[in-house]
Amino acid sequence: MPSTTMLSKPELRRQMRNQRRRLTQPQRRQAAAQLLHSLRHNRHFQYSRHIAVYLTNDGEIDTGPLIRDLQRRGKCLYLPVLHPLRQGHLSFLRWDRHTKLVKNRFGIREPVFGRSRSMPARFVQLVCMPLVAFDQQGNRLGMGGGFYDRTLAFMHQPGQQPALLGCAYDWQKTTALAAEPWDIPLSAIATDQRLYRFR
């Protein structure tokens, strides 16, 4: 991996995403198992009942083992859905084995939108989210759409707040990312190597 210190955000995104797509299947499988291992004993992971997860896309670290572990523990799981009315926002929809999934405009599978199955983000206890790069202060670089930032903007104010967990390969760590005022920092990041906790 070349030094990522001086790269612009678009260039950093491009390099990280390319690197991610180049991993082999055995590397992906091993990292996914290790990701779960890093998280297993975390109290948010163990005790949260309402947990938002994501389905792996674009070479992101595979959440399969993590999701199966949560299903075995009987957690209520939610998936992000592009909000049909609030542009640039996500909605978290209940996901169980009966939920029909369809591809959204980014080619990511999501539940069919229905208000009755939507959970307000502030009542989700743990939100697991993908990222393109992170730093050791808990700053997150996403794909550039700002979807999680907008959806979680209520966290700028005090009140009930979910724990935010980024999931990534450990090599996605970079030196300090310049956080923008709208960026919502993460509470923790789990990688194939370890769990980073912030604040």
Which of ligand ADP, Mg ion, none binds 143 (CB below 5-8 Å, type-dependent)?
ligand ADP
CB 62 within 8 A of CB 77: no
The CA distance from 112 to 93, in Å, is: 9
Binding mask 123-162 for Mg ion (x = CB under 5 A): --------------------------x-------------
Annotation-wise, does 40 bind a ligand? no
Least spacing, CB of residue 23 vs ligand ADP, in Å: 21
Site track for Mg ion across 155-194, x = CB under 5 A: ----------------------------x-----------
Which two structure tokens, joined as six digits, stand for 13? 């995104």
HEC-encoded secondary structure of the chain: CCCCCCCCHHHHHHHHHHHHHCCCHHHHHHHHHHHHHHHCCCHHHHHCCEEECCCCCCCCCCCHHHHHHHHHCCCEEEEEEECCCCCCCEEEEEECCCCCEEECCCCCEEECCCHHHEECHHHCCEEEEECCEECCCCCEECCCCCHHHHHCHHHHCCCCCCEEEEECCHHHECCCCCCCCCCCCCCEEECCCCEEECC
Of 11 and 96, nearer to ligand ADP (C-beta) is 11
Would the annotation count 142 as a binding residue? yes
CA distances, 61 to each of 6, 24, 100, 131, 159 (Å) = 25, 12, 23, 9, 31
Residues in binding contact with Mg ion, number by CB under 5 A: 2
154 binds, among Mg ion, ligand ADP, none (CB under 5 to 8 A by kind): none
Q: Report the nearest approach of ligand ADP to the CB of residue 28 (Å).
A: 23
- Our CB check for Mg ion shows the closer of 84 and 144 to be 144
* Residue 86 engages ligand ADP in binding (rule: CB under 6 A): no
Q: What's the closest the beta carbon of residue 33 comes to Mg ion, in angstroms?
A: 29
The reply to whether 70 sits in an annotated binding site is no
Q: Which one among 106, 123, 154, 182 touches ligand ADP, defined by CB under 6 A?
A: 182
Choice between 8 and 116, CB closer to ligand ADP: 8
Pick out residues in 123-142 that bind ligand ADP (CB under 6 A): 141-142
Q: Which residue positions form the known binding site for substrate?
A: 55, 60
